[in-house]
Chains A and B, each alone.
Chain A
Amino acid sequence: MDRELVERARSGDHDAFEVLAAGIVDHCYGVARLILRDADRAEDAAQEALVRCWRDLPSLREVDRFDAWLGRLLMRAINDEFRRGSRFRANITVLTREPSTTDAVSTAIADRELLERGFARLSIEHRSIVVLRLHLGLSVQETATILGIPVGTAKSRLHYATEALRRALEADTEPRSQEVSA
C-alpha cells in the first residue's frame, strides 16, 4: 500500500486514485472470483468496491489501515452482489446431489471437483472466511475485523466451513453402503 497515493486519493486527486486502483484491482477481482464463483459477478463486485473506495476514502482517518478498510468494502460489495443474484443461482445449485465418479482421475483433480462442489454449498459468510483465512492468510483477528464480526464468530465459522469441506472431501471415499443404511 502506497501511503502517499492513498492520502492524495483521499483528498480528491482522481489521478492518484487511478494509480491506486490499478494496484488493487487484481486483488479485488481475485477475492470476489473465489467467493462468488462467477466471473461476471466478480467483475461487478470488484468494480463496485473500487467505486465505493473512491467515494468513501475521505472517511478513512487512519491511512495505515487502508488494507483492512478496503477489505471490508470489498466484502460488502461481494455480499451485495451475492444477495442481488443469489435467489436464482443459489437455489439452482442447492440441490446438487450427484454421485461422484472420481475413480479414474487423479487425487488433485478429485480434490478440485469435491472442493468446488463443497464450496458452492457453503453460505457466502462461510466462503468469505475460508478465502480470507486460507487463501489470503489473514489472522483470525484480521478476518474478524474485515468481516465486522467477533473473533469467536470468525473461529466458529471457519471451523464449520472447513468441517463442511472436509466432509465433502471424505464423502467420495466413504463406502456407498453407509449412505443408505436405514
Chain B
Amino acid sequence: MNAGPDVERRISSWLAEEVPTRAPDRILPAAFERTRHTHQRRFGAAWRSITMNRTWQLATAAVVGVLIIGLGAVWIGGSGGVGGPSGPTPSPTPAPSPFPSSGDVEPGTYVLQGSGSPSITLTMPAGWQSDNGQPVKNNGTSASLTLMPWIVSNITSDPCQWNSDPALSPSQIALLEPPVGPTVDDLASALAKQPLRNATTPTDVTIDRYVGKSLELTIPADLDFATCSGGFFVSWVGATADETMGFAGPGSHDRVLILDVDGVRLVLDAIDFPGARAGDRAELQAIVDSIQIEPVSATPSASPAGSP
C-alpha cells in the first residue's frame, strides 16, 4: 500500500509548521569557543560525492567473505590441530540473522543480543516489526504487543511517583531501598510486592534449559496517568538508571520471565496493551515458546539485552 501524496503533503505541512526559523543565539558562540581551539584536520581521505559502484561493492563483499571463511577455517582447524586429519564436513546450519533495528520483520529465526547479555534466538511470525531492535506488533491502533529483554538492576519504589524531577532526570528515580538482591527470587518477590502492579504469585518456569520465575503484572485501568511523574509509569531500571521504559497509559499486561542464565539474571518482558487481539497474543506466546538462550561467554556486563 502506498501512503500517497496527500499523506506526504500533510507530513510536509506539519514539518514546515514545526521547524524553528531561528537557532538559539548561544549556539554560535559556543561552537566558536570550541573551533578556536580545534585544529583542522589536514590529512586523511577526502570526502567525495562518488558512491561505491556495484562491481566494487561485490568485490569488497567477496574479499570480506573470503576473510571470514578463511578466519573461520583457521579457527575450526585450530580445534583439531594444524595439519590433523580432516573428517567429514558437517552440513552447515544456517545461522540466525541478527534482529533488524527497524522496519518490518520477515518471518524467520533471529538473534536478539545486547552487549554482555545472553543472546536470545527467537522465531518470528509474519506481521511483526522492529522498534529500535525490539519485536513489536502494531495494528495501526492502540493494540500492540512487544517483547523486551532486560538486565534489571533495581525496581522503583512507586511506579507512578517514580521520579522527583520534572525533567525526569535518571538520577532522580526513586528506587527501592535497599536495592533488590541479585537472585531470581529476589527480583520476583520484589516485583510481586511492588505497588500498583496487581502481581500474581511468582511460579517456577523453564525457558530453553534455564529455570526461573514467572509472574504477571498489570497496571490499574483506572489509574490517572496525569498524576504520575511525567505522565509515565515506570517499574524498573536496567543496568544503569538511564535505561528504563515508561508506560503511558493504563491497562497493559506484562508477563515477566526472570531467568538465571549461568549467573546472569535475564528478564524477558512480554507485554500486551489494551486492545491486543487474542491471535496476536497467541503469536507473542509462540515467540516466547520459541526462545533459545545462549549464555554470555565472556564476563557479563550489565547492559539490557534489547536496549536500543
Q: Which residues of A contact B (CB under 8 A)?
A: 12, 14, 17-18, 21-22, 25-26, 28-31, 33-34, 39, 43, 46-47, 50-51, 54-62, 65, 68-69, 72, 86-88, 90-99, 111-112, 115, 121, 123, 125-126, 130-131, 134-135, 144-145, 156-157, 159-160, 162-163, 165-171, 174, 176, 178-182
Contact = CB atoms under 8 A, between A and B. Distances in A.
A58 B42 CA distance: 6
Contact of A50 (B31, B46, B146): B31
30 contacts: A21-B32, A22-B28, A26-B20, A30-B19, A30-B21, A33-B18, A34-B15, A46-B23, A46-B31, A47-B30, A47-B34, A51-B38, A54-B38, A56-B47, A68-B49, A87-B308, A88-B170, A93-B246, A95-B245, A95-B246, A99-B249, A112-B14, A115-B14, A123-B102, A125-B102, A135-B15, A163-B3, A165-B7, A179-B141, A182-B278
Q: Decide if the interface of chain A is mainly helix, strand, loop or mixed.
A: helix
A140 B181 CA distance: 53
Contacts of A121: 131
Nearest to A17: B35
B248 A93 contact: yes
A180 B275 contact: yes
Interface in B76-96: none
A171 B7 CA distance: 13
Given A88-B243, A96-B249, A167-B140, 10 more contacts: A12-B40, A54-B38, A59-B44, A61-B48, A94-B134, A97-B142, A123-B131, A163-B1, A179-B143, A180-B275
